[in-house]
Amino acid sequence: MDEAKRPPVQHPAFENKEAKKDSVNPQKGREYVPDIGQGAAGSSDRITRAYLDSMLLVYRHLGAVPPSTETRILNRDVSTPIMASALALLERFDPDGSAAFARGIQRAGAVMWTGWIDNEMFRRVADTGANAVCGVKPFQDNDKIYEAIEKAAEAGAVGICMDIDHCFDDTGADCGFVFGQLGHKSLAEIQSYAAAASAHGLPFFLKGILDPADAIVARKLGVAGIVVSHHQGIWCYAAPPAMMLQEIRSAVGSEYPVFADCGVHSGVDVFKYLAAGADAVGVARELMTAFSKKGADGVYDRIMFMNDELKGTMAKTGRATLKEIDMSAIRFRSGW
């Protein structure tokens, strides 16, 4: 295609959903192309949902007691393993954007990973008292990254996270974006971000890891933990994070912090992710919807509701604590 005519690659939230539904590449909708059959089948969101739905619960009743969802995430005692995943664009629903959202997180005593916001907005998020991990995009301009790490540390972040899956556009070029330029990163650069965060006393995480090989390299580079994710299916045919978690957990061992998100709609989904090996589980669109309807109260209510669902699932599977949740509580629908 003539470069001049190529429309800019857009943020997923701005995409033309109709084109997305029927285009050959279901994740992009760069131009409308009539469906030739695999479009919907390639939706990473749909594949992820199908995988979660294929995980069946083995109920266990004897000796069961009321469960607790208390846990420790990023050296903080929290009452739920349900976290807010990174979300940009929250100012669409409230002029206070992420800061308003954070008030619901703070009330829930949960952990929040921030999306693409500026340094000042992150400070306002941290000022709410929420446990906030500052999301830093893979900007081509490294100075922007180091500055964001420094400002986040000053603001009281509990960690820094880079969504390393947001480097390339779907042509394999560095991601030109409406808000700034993103780009691929060398291993040395990643190592230097981890070192910079560490110099400020903060753990540095990578989000968007799906491959156990990446998880092993991340750990070697001094990355403090990972978020297993396909970023709401920005690419098609992504392996479901819950599927990859099991291999990733075996690859990095039981002590390495491994978080995950994608497609979590209920506390039952949270339970499945925990069983597959996540230490805690992120929720993005479900909380964004709650925020759009009821602001911070909506965020708080939704986390509490999902946490109650998680407790119900734990009680009925005989798991008194989060640590007891494992794959022995799961059977797969296929092959029965």
Ligand X SMILES: Cc1cc2nc3c(=O)[nH]c(=O)nc-3n(C[C@H](O)[C@H](O)[C@H](O)COP(=O)(O)O)c2cc1C
| Interface residues toward ligand X, by CB under 6 A | 13, 85-89, 115-116, 135, 163, 207, 229, 231-232, 261-264, 283-286
Q: Which residues lie across from 76 on neighbouring strands?
A: 73
Token pair for 156? 């009281």
Token pair for 13 = 């939230």
Nearer to ligand X, 256 or 259 (CB): 259
Closer of 283 and 325 to ligand X (Cβ): 283
Chain centroid to Cα 55, Å, comes to: 20
Q: Which is nearer to ligand X, 84 or 314 (CB)?
A: 84
Which one, 86 or 155, has the nearer CB to ligand X?
A: 86
Min. distance of Cβ 135 from ligand X in angstroms? 5
Taking the C-alpha atoms of residue 275 and residue 241, their distance in angstroms, rounded to an integer, is 12
Rounded to a whole number of angstroms, the minimum distance from the CB of residue 262 to ligand X is 4
Q: How many CB atoms lie within 10 A of CB 216?
A: 14
Using the minimum distance from each CB to ligand X, give the nearer residue, 45 or 67: 45
Q: How many helices (H) and strands (E) would you count in the chain?
A: 10, 12
The CB-of-125 to ligand X minimum distance in angstroms stands at 13
Residues across the chain:
336
Q: Smallest distance, Å, CB 121 to ligand X?
A: 12
Cα(186)–Cα(178) distance, integer angstroms: 23
Is the torsion defined by CA of 243, 12, 184, 140 positive or negative? negative
Give least dist CB 102 to ligand X, A.
15
Least distance between ligand X and beta carbon 37 (Å): 25
Helix axes 212-220, 241-252, angle to 10 degrees: 40
Cα–Cα distance measured from residue 330 to residue 203, given in angstroms and rounded to the nearest whole number: 32
Question: Please, which residue, 284 or 314, has the CB nearer to ligand X?
Answer: 284
For residue 174, the SS3 value is strand
Rounded CA-CA distance 240/97 in Å is 29
Given the complex with ligand X, which of 71 and 114 has the nearer CB atom?
Answer: 114
DSSP string, 99-167: HHHHHHHHHHT-EEE--S--HHHHHHHHHTT-EEEEE---BS-HHHHHHHHHHHHHHT-SEEEEETT-S
Could you tell me the smallest distance in angstroms from the CB atom of residue 266 to ligand X? 11
Q: How far is the CB of 58 from ligand X (least distance, A)?
A: 25
Q: Which is nearer to ligand X, 165 or 247 (CB)?
A: 165
| Contact (Cβ atoms closer than 8 angstroms) between residue 117 and residue 98 | yes
Report CA 269 to chain centroid distance, whole Å: 14
